[in-house]
Amino acid sequence: MKTTHHLDEATLLRYASGDLDSAFTIVVAAHLAMCDECRQAVRDAEEIGGHMMDHVDEAPVASDAFEKLMARLDTGENEQIEVDLRKNAQSDSDVPLPLRELIGEHLDDVSWRLVAPGVRKHEIRMGKKGESFLYMLNISPGMAVPEHGHGGAEMTLILSGAYRDKLGVFGPGDVADLDEHIEHQPIVEPGEACICLVATETPTRFKDLISRLMQPFVRI
Amino acid sequence: MRSALNLAQNDEDTDRVDDPTLLKQAMVRVAKEQDRDAFHFLFSYFAPRVKAVLLKAGSSESQAEDLMQDVMMTVWRKAKLYAPERGSVNAWVFTVARNARIDLLRRASSRPYDDVYEIELESDVASGEDEMFETERAERVSEALAELPEEQRQIIELGFIEDMSQSEIAEKLDLPLGTVKSRMRLAYGKMKSKLEAVR
């Protein structure tokens, strides 16, 4: 799959350092599942972590630390994990691996709720309160993708279909990794519905009074 | 190999292993032969570093010691999943420690990271490359980091080692969030331009 819209470089570093919350981690991981180029970029970013750890001032460990670990090995409960790559390779799933645990193996099996004409939504429950939202949108051809950033950062990954905005055409695997300053109005391309995975920051403040007043109406 | 291991172990004052292939060889022996001497070498090298990172990320002394034990146990258990052609042992152990931090300190899930790593292992993009390719990339990353201006290096260190979020970094350094992001991008850009020669 050839993707043309990739992750922001600051996002790659945040993912590699473990700084993203659950919702954004899932969207990034799902993009990485579809994008060889960004996986290479993450490997490079993880080398940064390796280098930094290599140059840290060492902290002394307990004098019996190694013996303790060996004793745990001797219980026989800590056998080495064998490499087993069949899980993904044998699947006929059209859902990226990091998302399968949350929505199942097939996009067709997702249950949708109509939230506006031509717009269906599937919410994915995340663990904690106050964390970013994660959900999927299923938007009919020719329809506008509703405004959903609520003034915070948002990240949208296309799973099937395509939309177009001023940044270009976004197809399967493409990610719109936008901060709050970018205004855009995507329109779904003719032909098939566009299914995308979206993470948005919990709204903390509204940009201005107008959007505060509009919030109850445009909220999806 | 054995004599090299002993040499490195006895030389407690120069703790950095200058030859990354020593660490790789030890990992391969742990994976293939469950070699405990090789693992002892890895433990001596990584345990104090992993613990230091956990302390810097805010763990107490006893929590850091326990977590370090868990991380090193995972290094043993997952040794067969380490792929030398995909990066340095340092980077791999960093990711094991990072994932433990996410699971245990943040009470979130590192499962998406495992999924991506699994896809990585089965992807054939890098498997055809020889180890030299990744070793050279790792060296270039180190070079680029060594040359970073202090204001960029500091932000990378706070994010990767002290486990601070972008907004925490912004607050600590009294900088706008946008400045933290742009310094991250600048740092990444320098690394990338070094890497383009290898690509």
> What does pLDDT average to over chain B?
86
Q: Which residue has the tokens 């859902």?
A: A95
B-chain residues near A29 (CB < 8 A): 112-113, 115-116
Of A12, A87, A97, the CB nearest to B188: A12
Per-residue pLDDT reduced to its tens digit, A11-29: 999 999 999 989 999 999 9
Rounded CA-CA distance A43/A12 in Å is 10
Of A13, A22, A36, the CB nearest to B159: A13
The pTM for the full model equals 0.89
Q: Which residues between 185 and 214 in chain A have a beta carbon less than 8 angstroms from any beta carbon of chain B?
A: none
Q: pLDDT tier at B56 (50, 70, 90 boundaries)?
A: very high
Rounded CA-CA distance B56/B16 in Å is 19
Q: pLDDT tier at B16 (50, 70, 90 boundaries)?
A: low
Per-residue pLDDT reduced to its tens digit, B156-186: 999 999 989 999 999 999 999 999 999 999 9
SS3 letters across chain A: CCCCCCCCHHHHHHHHHCCCCHHHHHHHHHHHHHCHHHHHHHHHHHHHHHHHHHCCCCCCCCCCHHHHHHHHHHCCCCCCCCCCCHHHHCCCCCCCHHHHHHHCCCHHHCCCEEEECCEEEEEECCCCCCCCEEEEEEECCCCECCCCCCCCCEEEEEEECCEEECCEEECCCCEEEECCCCCCCCEECCCCCEEEEEEECCCCCCCCHHHHHHHHHHCC
What is the predicted pLDDT for the residue at B11? 44
Lowest mean pLDDT among A82-96, B40-54, B110-124: A82-96
What is the predicted pLDDT for the residue at B127? 52
Q: pLDDT tier at B136 (50, 70, 90 boundaries)?
A: confident
ipTM, 2 dp: 0.88
What is the predicted pLDDT for the residue at A202? 72
Q: Which residues between 34 and 53 in chain B have a beta carbon less than 8 angstroms from any beta carbon of chain A?
A: 34, 36, 40, 43-44, 47-53
CATH architecture of B1-129: Orthogonal Bundle (1.10)
CA distance A143 to chain B (A): 31
Chain A residue with CA closest to B73: the answer is A69
Interchain CB contact of A69 with B (< 8 Å): yes
Using the predicted structure, report yes or no on whether residue A192 has a pLDDT greater than 90: yes
What is the predicted pLDDT for the residue at B128? 52
Kindly list the domain boundaries of chain B, sorted by start residue.
Answer: 1-129, 130-199
Using the predicted structure, report yes or no on whether residue A209 has a pLDDT greater than 50: no
Using the predicted structure, report yes or no on whether residue A126 has a pLDDT greater than 80: no
Using the predicted structure, report yes or no on whether residue A128 has a pLDDT greater than 90: no
Average pLDDT score over residue span A46-52: 93
Domains of chain A in start order, with CATH, are 9-52+85-218 (2.60.120.10)
Taking domain B130-199, whether its CATH number is 1.10.10.10 is answered by: yes
Mutate to test the interface with A, among B39, B62, B122, B141 (most CBs of A within 10 A): B141
* Distant-in-sequence, close-in-space partners of A77: CB < 8 Å, separation ≥ 6: none
Rounded CA-CA distance A58/B53 in Å is 9
Mutate to test the interface with A, among B36, B69, B109, B116 (most CBs of A within 10 A): B116
Q: A135 with A24: CB under 8 angstroms? A: no
